[in-house]
Amino acid sequence: MTRSGGFYIRSRNAFMYVAGLGFLSLAKAKNVLRGYSSPKPFDLTETEKCVAYDMRVVDEWLAHLAAYSSGAYSLRGRNVLELGPGSDLGVGAYLLAKGAATYNACDVNDLARHAPLGFYTTLIERICAAVPGTDASMLQMQIEAARAGTPSRLKLVVRDDFDLLAAFAPNSMDVVFSQAAFEHFDDVDATVARLSAVCRPGAMIVAEIDLKTHTRWIRDKDPNNIYRYSDRVYRSFWFRGAPNRMRPYQYQEIFEKHGWVDLSIKPLDQVSSDASAFDPRYRHARNQLDYLSVVLCATKR
């Protein structure tokens, strides 16, 4: 490396370190002032985008599940659990149309019941077009019941403590899905322990985990920015739901500890990285900082 090249890298690292602190401050201030408002990168008023997003997420989950199980796993008649459903019940409705017996979800934010009715009208139309034979009236009835808080095949539980075992019966879930939620859990070990308790033996999980920094702009310019900081510095900007900075090997250790086997963690997005730019605890190769997002699949023993 030339002297000028080394100077550029050092200058860029210094700039990104300082810029990242600014974005961490903004993220914390936004959370304090506004709380958590939407998990999607666009507003629910953009109905077509939201519907397409929900259906794409489900299709990707099922593709991962098919690849993991070599096509041997069927959703039909299964009890599905989603961790962190987000802003609406679109994912659950689509899963019912795909054959799930029930859709269950747990979140700490009560967002999903408040999506506008127009969203669900469009959603059902798109689902019926994508899944021939869909019972539109059944979906409408289940959505209305869930929004009203009455018994439904779409069950959303909102708990501030995110206690899955208090929310659902032991040994009741057959398959678990999660989209960019695990990186927001403050206590992943406790979450997986409770998840293991509510899942039946042989249950499978498909979880997409976003390992990147989450604040826009710097997310694109420096996706691993959050790993530049010591624990002491990063904790000073902590708020509930901030990225927990856990790496793939840590997820693997926790799931295996709680009785999950045949574990697979595959990268969905990668980048080359310079280990010297990060805090010393993240410089070891086991952190796999070239992995920006992954899909985790496993089976309950």
In this model, does residue 284 exceed pLDDT 60?
A: yes
In this model, does residue 69 exceed pLDDT 70?
A: yes
In this predicted model, what pLDDT tens digit does every residue of 83-92 receive, in sequence order?
999 889 999 9
What does the domain layout of the chain look like in residue ranges? Answer: 36-211+247-300
In this model, does residue 79 exceed pLDDT 70?
A: yes
In this model, does residue 34 exceed pLDDT 80?
A: no
Domain 36-211+247-300 has CATH 1.20.120.50: no
In this model, does residue 113 exceed pLDDT 90?
A: no
Which of 11-15, 89-93, 110-114, 129-133 comes out lowest in average pLDDT? 110-114
DSSP string of the chain, one letter each residue: --HHHHHHHHHHHHHHHHHHHHHHHHHHHHHHHH----SSSS-TT-HHHHHHHHHHHHHHHHHHHHHHTTT----TTPEEEEE---S-SHHHHHHHHTT-SEEEEEESS--GGGS-HHHHHHHHHHHHHHSTT--HHHHHHHHHHHHHTSS-SEEEEE-TT--HHHHS-TT-EEEEEEES-GGG-S-HHHHHHHHHHHEEEEEEEEEEEE-S--STTHHHH-TTGGGGS-HHHHHTT--TTS-----HHHHHHHHHHTTEEEEEEEEEEE----GGGS-GGG-SGGG-TTEEEEEEEEEE-
Q: What is the mean pLDDT of residues 282-289?
A: 96
User: pLDDT band at residue 37, thresholds of 50, 70 and 90?
Assistant: low
In this predicted model, what pLDDT tens digit does every residue of 249-274 receive, in sequence order?
999 999 999 999 999 999 999 999 88
Mean of the per-residue pLDDT values of the chain? 94
Q: What is the mean pLDDT of residues 129-133?
A: 97
